[in-house]
Amino acid sequence: MSTRRVFLKCLGGLGACLLPWTGWPDIFASSLQPTQASLKDLRSKPSTINSNQETVNSFQNRTAMDDILVLTQPALEGRRAGTLGEEKTANYLVNQLRGLNLEPLGDSIENQQRNYSHAFTIYPVVEEFVNGRLTFRQGNSNSLRTPSANIIGGLMGINSNESVILSAHYDHLGIFAGNLYPGANDNASGVGCILDVMRRLIRKGLKPKLNVVLAFWSAEEMGFVGSFSFVQNPTIPLGGIKAVFNVDSVGNGPLGEFALWANSNNYAVQAIQTAVAKNKASAVLTPNRGFNSDQVYFNLAHVPAVTLMARNWLDKNHTPEDISSFVEPQKIALASDILYETVNKLAF
Ligand SMILES: [Zn+2]
């Protein structure tokens, strides 16, 4: 979750550009490493099915808490955009998408080969505390920009011109003044939640009617820079996006008490409200009070988009206390149930 500031005004000049990407270092991947080749082998060589099936199952049966425990470990350094911690996290996410055999929907590179990363650049930022929360404001815009990337993959549908997007930002604040900001609720909880929904949809074993796209945004904490860059430079046509369901900080507060952020009672809001009611939860379309999340630029581009969040999201937000034991698995599971039903109804 990031504070809306003058920063937003400056984003208009921040063009997303394609950079030669150096490839993610292979950390966290060694024990979880099916290759596209091994997944192809699964289809072509029955004799190897058992061992490969185990590898496929190991990806499909992970849980949201598995993801949260990885994303919050000190080695990922608080996942600040533009740092090695972000790169390690992106590497982990790419491995999950590859292990689930999702279609890469990032930038095209040579020979029409696509990868999972959607590259953009960020301006330097300056840290400041507002009401005890660490936040970023824009730094010197004449300084060199730093590479960053969204990570995007999809379960392709029969009608591949239309998509439903499940999204969550994977970046957080990093390490500041000697303190690690692990960002378990903000927003490892959202990352784990949408991966969980996708794993459940894949376990159905059916091809959807519409594409179901997983998008992990970066640099949200710097002013929604990753999702803004996607809207500016989309890798799937914006006009074919039926709805964006963005998930941010869903692991805390009273069970079943959610808030929704959106520009209006749009199609995405209405779709999620139906599933909220079925799950005997409540989700109130709430004034942002100066805060925002990654639905904002989709709304400005007239794409139906909504952010689902815990109504109590501000508790421990942007403090070093937002640790993995702070988030509660049953709250993320309820958000997962709501999103699973929503996407199942729209896309299958
Ligand atoms: Zn935040």
Residue 2 CA, ligand 1 centroid: distance in Å: 5
Instruction: Give the DSSP per-residue string, 81-115.
Output: TTSHHHHHHHHHHHHHHHHTTPEE-S-B-GGG-B-
Strands in the chain per DSSP E? 2-3, 103-104, 117-122, 125-130, 133-138, 146-155, 159-169, 174-176, 179-181, 210-217, 241-247, 257-261, 282-285, 291-292, 305-310
Domain boundaries, the chain: 2-30+62-347
Nearby residues for ligand 1 (ion, Cβ within 5 Å): 1, 186, 221
Residue 130 CA, ligand 1 centroid: distance in Å: 13
221-272 confidence digits (pLDDT tens):
999 999 999 999 999 999 999 999 999 999 999 999 999 999 999 999 999 9
Residue 292 CA, ligand 1 centroid: distance in Å: 9
Q: Which residue has the tokens 């779709």?
A: 271
Predicted TM-score (pTM) of the model is: 0.86
Confirm if 282 and 250 have CB atoms less than 8 A apart.
no
Residue 183 CA, ligand 1 centroid: distance in Å: 8
Question: Topology of 2-30+62-347 in CATH?
Answer: Aminopeptidase (3.40.630)
58-98 confidence digits (pLDDT tens):
999 999 999 999 999 999 999 999 999 999 999 999 999 99
